[in-house]
A = this chain, B = another copy of it.
């Protein structure tokens, strides 16, 4: 995510916002964000939202996601919002929204749904 120039702008339990400023590396010739960047920050927002409801040191992986590209991804920056819908012992399901933000105007440009799996600390060697 950092490699795109994106950063977390808001964290609450079960909800994380990620902001991706417009830069030549993530936009096309007409200033639209690449679909790849839109999807990447949506996926990341869901991943951090999933983590936000687990104890420190937990880790998750995206199992799958589905995203609808609703409108051209245009703006000073994109803002992705990941929200936990259900968090279980093994699987977490999040909804994903991405907004194009231009000054005061905020347009929904993509929405999606994501399934994540919590990694077993004993198997991954992660320290809980």
Contact = CB atoms under 8 A, between A and B. Distances in A.
Interface in A49-83: 61-71
Given A34-B40, A40-B39, A66 B64 contact: yes
A68 B93 contact: yes
26 contacts: A1-B36, A3-B26, A34-B40, A35-B43, A36-B37, A61-B69, A63-B91, A64-B66, A64-B68, A65-B67, A66-B66, A68-B85, A68-B86, A68-B93, A70-B86, A70-B93, A85-B108, A86-B108, A90-B90, A90-B117, A93-B111, A95-B95, A95-B111, A111-B113, A113-B113, A115-B115
Which size bracket describes the interface of A in this complex? 35 or more
A25 interface: yes
A31 interface: no
Q: Which of A61, A62, A64, A91 has the most CB of B within 10 A?
A: A64
Total identical chains:
4
A66 B61 CA distance: 16
Contacts of A61: 69
Given A3-B34, A39-B43, A68-B85, 10 more contacts: A35-B43, A36-B43, A63-B68, A64-B115, A68-B113, A70-B93, A71-B86, A85-B108, A85-B111, A91-B117
